[in-house]
Amino acid sequence: MTAESRAHGRILFVAVRRLPRAITVVVTIAVVVSIAATAIGLSLAFFTAQAQPSAVFGTKAIFPGERVTTAFQVGDSSSGAHVDGSSPFAASADGLTKVTSSWSNVFAADRYLEFDFNDSLASGLDVTAATFDLTVASAGSGQACYYFEVRRVSTEAVLGTYGTPGSPIGCVSGSTLTSFSTSIPAVGTTSVANDLRIRLFGRESGNGPMVIDLATVGGATAYQTWGLYPVMFRDAADATPEIVPWGLQVP
């Protein structure tokens, strides 16, 4: 306590002695508070109640059953150096592509590519926003065009045709890879998606091959978004079918 504080207290105490006892108590308390405030300063704190934020919980459906699928994006370091062993159709711009056999410069029913997709979805669910996503180019300087059918693997039934020979889904001039995404409402349930084949008809103005960098099907249910990848690729661009299964799908 400073000398100034002690002097201040003595002056107030003298004044207090002349007051009635009840008032003296009050004034004495005031004197103590005044001395303390003079000596150490005044600190104030305010506390307010704060409501806790609401907790939000979500649930997902769990569907019984066994669903098995292979990997499509794979890294192989068995040799001591990393090698990308992924499917050439699983991702675009990853440096992995598939060059087809040579096409005719006109569309033909016996010149096509086929992609059969993995069946990893819970069955019986409604599907929204299904798309067939393709990244493609000519292998040379010509123009590559395509349209396609959506089919069932089990029955070969054609569920929908997208584009026509006179109005293809897409055309690419030259070797710059170009991406297309086409809505396929024919894939209306996961049961169809689990039994899905895309047959792609093509032509190349220079009677040459195409380069395929991506070929996937995507969509959504009320519970998840999903993607499917080819487990089998059939190349009949030159009218002689060649079946190329995805290596990790083979027992």
For residue 43, pLDDT over 80 is answered with: no
Query: Residues 136-150: what's their mean pLDDT?
Result: 97
C-alpha 250: how far from chain center = 28
CA distance 103 to 130: 28
Query: Residues 41-53: what's their mean pLDDT?
Result: 57
Residue scoring higher pLDDT (220 or 38): 220
Q: Confidence band (pLDDT; 50, 70, 90) for 250?
A: low
CA distance 66 to 84: 29
For residue 28, pLDDT over 60 is answered with: no
Q: Please give the class, per CATH, of domain 88-249.
A: mainly beta
Sequence-separated (6 or more) residues with CB below 8 Å from residue 36: none
Percent of the chain at pLDDT > 90 equals 63
The closest of 27, 31, 37 to 10, measured between CA atoms, is: 31
Q: Which residue type occupies 207?
A: N
- Cβ-contact 198, 115 below 8 angstroms: yes
112-140: pLDDT as tens digits = 999 999 999 999 999 999 999 999 999 99
